[in-house]
Amino acid sequence: MGRIVLKNVTKTFGETQVIPPLDLTIEDGEFAVFVGPSGCGKSTLLRMIAGLEDLTSGAIEIEGEDATEVPPAKRGLAMVFQSYALYPHMSVRKNIGFPLRMAKMEQSEIDERVETAAKSLNLMDYLDRKPADLSGGQRQRVAIGRAIVREPEAFLFDEPLSNLDAALRVGMRLEIGELHERLKTTMVYVTHDQVEAMTMANKIVVLRAGVIEQVGSPLELYHKPRNVFVAGFIGSPKMNIFSGPEAEKLDAATIGIRPEHIGVSMTDGLWKGRVGVAEHLGSDTFIHVHDTGLADMITVRITGDIAVKHGDTIYLTPQPDQIHKFDDEGLRN
Amino acid sequence: MSDRKLPRLLQTPAVLLLLVWMLIPLGMTLYFSFIRYVLNSLRRPEWTTPSFSNWRGFGNYEFVLNSKDFLFAIQNSLFIVCSILFLTVILGVLIAVLINKTFPGQGIVRVLLISPFFVMPAVNAVLWINMILDPVLGLQGIAVGGINELIDGLKDAPLVGWFFGMWPELQPISFRATQTSAYAVIIMVTWQWTPFAVLIFMTSLQSEDQQQKEAAVLDGANTWSQFRFLTLPHLARPIAIVVMIQAIFHLSLYAEIEIVSRGNGNKNLPYLIGEFANNNIGAASATGIFAVILANIVAIFLLRMIGKTLME
């Protein structure tokens, strides 16, 4: 049903090519997340799928039919915007019902569908309020409600959580995940936050400067990053990446080791360093280690708490099977 | 309490000045409206100096109410103001939406559009009534003459001549006439004030949320629906502001009325005041008080209306 195929898609704004030729298939029912630093073209790509941006060349297929020239409203897609884009003069009820009203649906049917959507999103008490009287999370739910009443082939989310505070973001993340489980509809989600990508996606598409760096499941990307960029982008805290003699020993130009794969000792180990800032989260401790001679700073993550002070000497030992090796061009070898 | 005394003390001069500014003219108008006071009278020279001994009570008011032009002036005031508001708001919205799109020469078009607003009202009136609306020498006369000549020529044409032969000769409209002078004023003031409306609506359109429009596009709204459900509600507030400001200005139109027809068939309260003030200051003052009352009624309605839109 909601299978989306991009074939040789490109986009140029004036002289600059934002998206070089790009191929991508999003299977029906998949939760695909486009992730990458800002300006990597992920939003442009989503807007091209939605039909809000024209393609410079290439084709888009939705459900096996060419949709390149189909106007946005006829593509059967619903989009949730970063700013929510609610209509400020209409009540929540009218906002959610707007796409149905535009589709010239019977009023009784509209009411029914709006009520169903509102119930599933816990919006029943707010139906007659205006968007200005709602909190950020409620507005986001109204925007999602407006998308689900249309029963689209696929949902498009354009950084929907970035205007929410941290606690709400976690809650909404779960709600969107739950929604996907319930509806089993294709979802395409754009974010710059790799945590959102890791927690929600079936398939992550890592983009940089319009180029797909890697496509895969969250754990594939975590365990087998295809290149240095993906290695550094996926995972929090960031992977420690460095080159030098230590890398040459392993026949690699660059090696990377994730903070959670480094053992710590106060007495002996492979690498010696000086403790900088230690961030105690209770469940975990992030220790930033300086003067190892490997990189400016090595981050280590250990479970539980450890009594280290700023300036202490510390010894680090990487788990050998967890070291990622990259060649001269930054590709995994 | 003492910490409030100083600010109040410092405000006092400004407040006093404002009160004097407002109350002295109003008080004098009230005073004149209750006495017999004329500029020139051979028969009753004592009426030419204002004095309490010439007290007339509500006589001036009665005289004004019973004068044949009073009711007409009020109706005509409202007619002119409402017509101008209606036309400027509609034209303003349409032009603003039209030029809000990007096109080559946008800057020049915008400057040209705004320029009528900088023409002085009297100049505006002279230009329109003599150069554009004049039935003989104005553009109107030339255009009507041209069309008539064209039709005359076509009457002799083969095949279609009989069709044009049945057309009547067009007559230019004399806009200084009793029946049409109000329309002339409405046309010229609309021309002058539409740019004001365009300016306000255009700035408002530029602040319209583009993501909302994109969301509406995806929701299946066509151009008309986007205008009807997004742009118009977005413009409600600026429309209210344009209506209020213009209503206040156009209740006191004078120059245009004077120049078009000297009040022939077209008076409003300020013009009536001017007519009385040629000699009868008492009656003019009483009319002034009526004008204050009318302006207040209009203002209360407008403030209610605008207060409501601003609250939303």
Q: By the CB < 8 Å criterion, does B227 face chain A? A: no
**Residue A227: which of A208, A210, A246 has the closest Cα?**
A208
Distance CA B266, CA B261 (A): 7
- Residue A236 — pLDDT band, cuts 50, 70, 90? confident
What pLDDT digit, counting tens, does each position of B249-286 carry?
898 899 999 998 888 888 889 999 999 988 899 999 99
Record the pTM: 0.80
Rounded average pLDDT over A101-123:
91
Please indicate whether, in this complex, the C-beta atoms of A102 and B221 are within 8 angstroms of each other: yes
pLDDT band at residue A1 using 50, 70 and 90 as cut-offs:
low
**Mutation target among B218, B227, B230, B231 for the A interface, most CBs of A within 10 A:** B218
A72 near B CB under 8 A: yes
Search chain B and give the residue with CA nearest A146.
B219
- Print pLDDT tens along chain B (312 aa): 567 888 899 999 999 999 999 999 999 999 999 998 988 888 888 888 888 888 888 989 999 999 888 999 999 999 999 999 999 999 999 999 998 888 898 889 888 888 898 899 999 999 999 999 988 888 999 999 999 998 888 888 788 888 888 888 888 888 888 888 999 999 999 999 999 999 999 999 998 888 999 999 999 899 999 999 999 999 988 998 899 889 888 988 999 999 988 888 888 899 999 999 888 999 999 999 999 998 888 888 887 877 776 655
Q: Residue A36's closest CA among A149, A197, A161, A228?
A: A197
Interface mutation target, options A102, A129, A148, A162, chain B, most CBs of B under 10 Å: A102
What is the H or E stretch that residue A110 is in? helix A107-120
- The pLDDT value given to residue B194: 95
Q: Name the pLDDT band for A59 (thresholds 50, 70, 90).
A: very high
How is chain A split into domains, by residue range?
4-231, 241-326
Is B208 an 8 Å CB contact of chain A?
no
List CB contacts (< 8 A) between B312 and chain A: 89
Query: What is the mean predicted confidence (pLDDT) over A71-83?
Result: 90
Answer yes or no: do A77 and B221 touch at CB < 8 A. Answer: no
The reply to whether B220 touches chain A by the CB within 8 Å rule is: yes
Q: What is the CATH number of domain A4-231?
A: 3.40.50.300
Residue B52, SS3 per DSSP: helix
pLDDT of residue A122: 87
Of the candidates A51, A88, A98, the beta carbon closest to that of B219 is on A98
Give the per-residue pLDDT at B14: 93
- Are A4-231 and A241-326 equal in CATH topology? no
For B71-122+181-276, CATH gives: 1.10.3720.10
Q: Do B225 and A102 touch (CB under 8 A)?
A: yes
Instruction: Tell me which CATH code domain A241-326 carries.
Output: 2.40.50.140
Query: Shortest CB distance from B215 goes to which of A51, A81, A89?
Result: A81
pLDDT digits (tens, 9 = 90+) for A78-102: 999 999 999 999 999 999 999 999 9
**Chain A residues in contact with B211 (beta carbon < 8 A):** 81-83, 85
Residue B1's pLDDT is 53
A208 close contact with B: CB closer than 8 A? no
Chain B residue with minimal CA distance to A130?
A: B312
Number of Cβ within a 10 Å radius of residue B68 = 6
The answer to whether residue B230 neighbours chain A at the CB level (below 8 Å) is yes
Distance to chain A for B111, nearest Cα, Å: 29
Q: B224: nearest CA in chain A?
A: A102
Contact residues on chain B for A50, CB-CB shorter than 8 A: 218
Mutate to test the interface with A, among B219, B237, B239 (most CBs of A within 10 A): B219
Whether residues A98 and B234 touch (CB distance < 8 A) is answered with no
- A230: pLDDT confidence band, cut at 50, 70 and 90? very high
Helix axes B59-66, B281-311, angle to 10 degrees: 80
Give how far A73 is from chain B: nearest CA, Å.
Answer: 5
Chain A to chain B Cβ contacts (< 8 Å): 59
Q: Flag whether residue B207 sits within 8 Å of chain A, measured between CB atoms.
A: no
Give the one of A73, A89, A150 whose C-beta lies nearest to B217's C-beta: A73
By Cβ distance, the residue of B209, B211, B218 closest to A72 is B218
Whole-number pLDDT of residue A244: 84
User: Does A9 lie at the interface with B, CB-CB under 8 angstroms?
Assistant: no
- What would the pLDDT profile of A169-213 be if each residue is shown by its tens digit? 888 899 899 999 998 999 999 999 889 999 999 999 999 988 899
- Interface check for B171 against chain A (CB to CB < 8 A): the answer is no
- Phi, psi angles (nearest 5°) of residue A37: -65, 165
Contacts of B134-141 spanning 24+ positions with Cβ under 8 A:
B134/B175, B135/B172, B135/B173, B135/B174, B135/B175, B136/B172, B140/B172, B140/B173, B140/B175, B141/B172
For residue A52, the chain B residues in CB contact (below 8 A) are 214, 217-218
Identify all chain A residues contacting B229, using CB atoms and an 8 Å cutoff: 87, 89-90, 98
Q: What is the ipTM of this complex?
A: 0.83
Question: B226 to chain A: nearest residue by CA?
Answer: A102
Minimum distance, in Å, between the CA of residue A170 and any CA atom of chain B = 25
For residue B267, which of B80, B42, B129 has the smallest C-alpha distance? B80
Residue B51 has a pLDDT of 83
Select from A82, A87, A103 the Cβ nearest to the Cβ of B212.
A87
C-beta of residue A266 within 8 angstroms of C-beta of residue A314: yes
User: Where along chain B do its domains lie?
Assistant: 71-122+181-276
Q: Does A331 touch chain B (CB under 8 A)?
A: no
Cβ contact, residue pair B217, A72, below 8 Å = yes
pLDDT mean over A282-301:
88
> Cα(A117)–Cα(A127) distance, rounded to whole angstroms?
11
Q: Does B292 touch chain A (CB under 8 A)?
A: no
A49 inside 8 A of chain B by CB: no
